[in-house]
Amino acid sequence: MKPIRVVLADDHTLVRAGIRALLESIEGVQVVAESGDGRETLDLIARHLPDVALLDIGMPGLNGLEVLRRVAAVSSRTRVVILSMHAEPLYVSRALAAGAAGYLIKGASVEELPLAIQAVTQGQTYLTPRVSRSVVDGFLRDTAASDPLAGLTGRQREILQLLAEGKSMRDIAGLLDVSIKTVETHRARLVERLGVRDMAGLVRLAIRAGLVPPE
């Protein structure tokens, strides 16, 4: 029997090491790569074409939900399980709407990890028991109304996260291989579309949407 090949992504090194140890203790599971960076994670998924990707939501540069939205384009075989410390239905609904096959709370019992891996590799959806499916269904019906970033493109969300992380226009332009003028145009459109007046407003929205931590 072929092993279940997993890519693991979490920006906290100790947390990632602990999760990797748990994964490697599961019979038939092989961790083929790990990362703490969203962009690198997407590259690793494209390179290794794993069966499962375990993605933390809060990662620098490109958060877990943005990686999730792009996984299908680089590896249609990969099923994604989101790892999160958030049990709120809004976070779960965003993950499911973006294509997650599973949602696992970091405070879950150790026994949940193999259950989640098994479920998603069998084509099922796994939700940590702390999340009520009926509540999630209600939020999924109203995602656009409850999500402050609904309607933004992937590039707009990406630039919003980078701005909120404190990156300069020049830094973002270099990272995304676009002109500074292009970044400035995206920033202006974000301010207009999101109805904020300044950079501080953009940062507050990014924190509210979970793109960056409230630090």
Domain locations in the chain as residue ranges: 4-143, 149-208
Residue with tokens 């909120």: 164
Quick one: average pLDDT of 177-189?
88
- Alpha-carbon gap, residue 160 to 144, rounded angstroms: 18
Task: List residues bridging with 52 in a β-sheet.
Answer: 6, 79
Distance CA(174)–CA(22), nearest Å, equals 38
What average pLDDT does the chain have? 86
Amino acid identity at 127? L
Element (H, E) at 196: none
**Mean pLDDT over residues 141-150, rounded?**
61
Does the pTM surpass 0.75? The reply is no
Of all residues in the chain, the percent with pLDDT exceeding 90 is 41
- Of 164 and 119, the one with more pLDDT: 119
Distance, in Å, from the CA atom of 34 to the CA atom of 17, rounded to the nearest integer, reads 9
Distance of CA 21 to the CA centre of its chain: 21
Mean pLDDT is lowest, of 28-37, 94-103, 114-123, 127-136, for 127-136
CA atoms in the 13 A half-sphere facing the CB of 135: 11
Mean pLDDT of 72-101: 88
pLDDT at 163: 86
pLDDT bucket at 144, cuts 50 / 70 / 90: low
φ and ψ at 56, to 5 degrees?
-70, 145
User: 149-208, what's its fold?
Assistant: Arc Repressor Mutant, subunit A (1.10.10)
CATH superfamily of 4-143: Response regulator (3.40.50.2300)
* Alpha-carbon 41 to chain mean position: 10
Whether 115 shows a pLDDT value over 70: the answer reads yes
- What pLDDT shows up at residue 131? 73
